[in-house]
């Protein structure tokens, strides 16, 4: 397997983008990545997108987006793993470069969520859960994560304030991110008094509905200097994993086994452990998710992530900064794009180009992107060369 590098990244401001179509969002991010890298061709592309069929009545994105990007006849494929679609697209591109099959691969992600009503978006997102045995019974994503939160609170004494602090912290970071959907600070009180969605999760514990895209250019590390002026960032480790799709089939609701499986493989490939990760972008679809994930990644012992967050250990200035981009909560969560957006943040930080939200001296970052209630997860470890 060849070493793989990221030599270009592209994104746009995420939000409710009424005037922008899916194809337009993707092409903009892709062009930004191509120009950032300075490459003059593409060999292949992968696009992560959870459900263009349900959101905009469009499948066959490989053809559509290769067409609109103007790169036919290269091979192009849409990758799906619910909310982990973007990360899985990156992994697919990594494999194609690492294997030697292609040299320059575009990996991107996009989701256009606002063409349907709120009910329509909820329905589309719910297809990430067990349609017959969870969704049919009345389950929603906030509902499933609320059941995790309740279990965590009962077993570990997590308080409502500690949980809310995840959102406060992520907004502190997102306020400094020019691409964030909600670039504003949030008070603890605002989170704790926002509308109840699924007890105990309130509106501001939940990531939003967002339109957006992100893209990156991968190439063999050995060719990076020749292909691009950008300092290459090496993909040191990749791992993915699965878990029971239905939350009720898991032995321990607070243990995200797909994340454990994915990061074990990524750490092994990278030859590092959790202590050597300087910062991470994790999948905070709901505040409770961030807490369970950072434990699954080995950053904090089980049951302590809430206290660690409250104590500021995961703040931008803490000992393990989590979600310096603002996370899904503040940056937004255009489902298929999120995983690639996480790579965008890692590369930006590792290049030292994160401006006001830069964490000084970072050398190695981790991105964890998760589907549904944790049924699938993909982890990437990136490091400076």
Partner 1 sequence: MAFVPSYWRETPQRYRYEAVRCEECAKVFFPPRRSCGPWCGCKLEPCTVAQEGRVLTHTVIHIGPDQFSDETPYVLAICEMDDGARLTAQVVDCPPDKVDAGLRVRIEFRRIQKDGESGILMYGYKVVPA
Residue (198 or 328) nearer to partner 1, CB = 198
Query: Which residue stretch of 71-79, 93-101, 119-127, 185-193 sits at the interface with partner 1 (rule: CB under 8 A)?
Result: 119-127
Q: Which residue has the tokens 């992100």?
A: 214
**Does residue 371 belong to the site contacting partner 1 (CB under 8 A)?**
no
Sketch the per residue contact string, 286 through 325, with partner 1: x for CB under 8 A, - otherwise.
----------------------------------------
Sketch the per residue contact string, 184 through 213, with partner 1: x for CB under 8 A, - otherwise.
-----------xxxxxxx------------
Report in angstroms how near the CB of residue 88 gets to partner 1 at its nearest: 23
Q: How many CA atoms lie within 13 A of 84 on its CB side?
A: 27
- Element holding 244 (H helix, E strand): none
**Does residue 158 belong to the site contacting partner 1 (CB under 8 A)?**
no
Q: Which residue has the tokens 């003059």?
A: 40
**Does residue 246 belong to the site contacting partner 1 (CB under 8 A)?**
yes
Choosing from 24, 67, 115, 151, the residue that interacts with partner 1 (CB under 8 A) is: 151
Site residues (CB under 8 A) for partner 1, limited to 253-272: 253
Q: Which residue has the tokens 């200097």?
A: 225
Among candidate residues 6, 221, 194, 174, the one with its CA nearest the CA of residue 93: 6
Residue (167 or 266) nearer to partner 1, CB = 167
Q: Contact at 8 Å (CB) between 94 and 326?
A: no
State how beta strands 212-220 and 4-11 pair: antiparallel
Q: Contact at 8 Å (CB) between 335 and 45?
A: no
Catalytic residue ranges: 83, 333
Question: What single string gives the DSSP state of each residue in 75-134?
Answer: -EEEE-BTBTHHHHHHHHHHHHHHTTS-SSEEEEEEE--SSS-HHHHHHHHHTTS-IIII
Residue (147 or 240) nearer to partner 1, CB = 147
Residue (129 or 343) nearer to partner 1, CB = 129
Choosing from 19, 40, 132, 275, the residue that interacts with partner 1 (CB under 8 A) is: 132
Cα–Cα dist 291/14, whole Å:
24
Choosing from 43, 80, 103, 134, the residue that interacts with partner 1 (CB under 8 A) is: 134
Q: Contact at 8 Å (CB) between 370 and 141?
A: no
Cα–Cα dist 44/65, whole Å:
12
Q: What does the binding site for partner 1 look like in residue numbers (CB under 8 A)?
A: 119, 122-123, 126, 130, 132-140, 142-143, 146-151, 154, 195-201, 246-249, 253
């Amino acid at each position: 397997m060849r070493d793989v590098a990221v030599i270009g990244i592209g994104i746009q401001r995420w939000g409710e983008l009424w005037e922008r179509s899916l194809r337009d969002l993707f092409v903009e991010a892709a062009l930004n990545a191509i120009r950032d890298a300075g490459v003059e061709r593409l060999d292949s592309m992968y696009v992560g997108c959870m459900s263009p069929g349900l959101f905009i009545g469009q499948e066959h994105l490989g053809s559509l987006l290769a067409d609109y990007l103007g790169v036919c006849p290269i091979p192009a494929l849409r990758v799906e793993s619910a909310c982990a679609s973007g990360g899985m697209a990156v992994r697919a591109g990594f494999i194609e470069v690492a294997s030697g099959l292609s040299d320059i691969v575009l990996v991107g992600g996009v989701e256009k969520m606002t063409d349907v009503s709120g009910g329509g978006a909820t329905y589309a997102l719910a297809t990430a859960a067990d349609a017959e045995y969870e969704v049919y019974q009345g389950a929603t994503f906030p509902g499933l994560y609320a059941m995790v939160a309740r279990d965590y609170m009962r077993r570990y004494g997590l308080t409502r304030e500690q949980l809310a602090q995840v959102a406060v912290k992520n907004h502190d970071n997102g306020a400094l991110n020019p691409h964030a959907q909600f670039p504003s600070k949030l008070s603890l009180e605002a989170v704790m008094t926002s509308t109840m969605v699924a007890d105990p999760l309130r509106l501001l514990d939940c990531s939003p509905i967002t339109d957006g895209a992100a893209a990156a250019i991968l190439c063999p590390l050995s060719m990076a200097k020749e292909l691009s002026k950008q300092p290459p960032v090496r993909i040191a480790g990749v791992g993915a994993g699965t878990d029971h799709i239905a939350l009720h089939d898991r032995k321990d609701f607070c243990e995200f086994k797909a994340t454990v499986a994915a990061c074990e493989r990524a750490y092994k490939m990278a030859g590092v452990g959790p202590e050597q990760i300087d910062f991470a972008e994790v999948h905070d679809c709901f505040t409770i998710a961030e807490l369970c994930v950072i434990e699954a990644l080995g950053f904090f012992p089980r049951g302590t992530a809430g206290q660690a967050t409250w104590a500021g250990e995961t703040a931008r200035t803490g000992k393990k900064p989590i979600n310096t981009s603002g996370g899904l909560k503040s940056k937004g969560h255009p489902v298929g794009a999120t995983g690639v957006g996480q790579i965008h943040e890692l590369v930006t930080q590792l290049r030292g180009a994160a401006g006001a939200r830069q964490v000084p001296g970072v050398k190695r970052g981790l991105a964890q992107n998760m589907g549904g209630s944790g049924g699938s997860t993909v982890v990437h470890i990136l490091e400076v060369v």
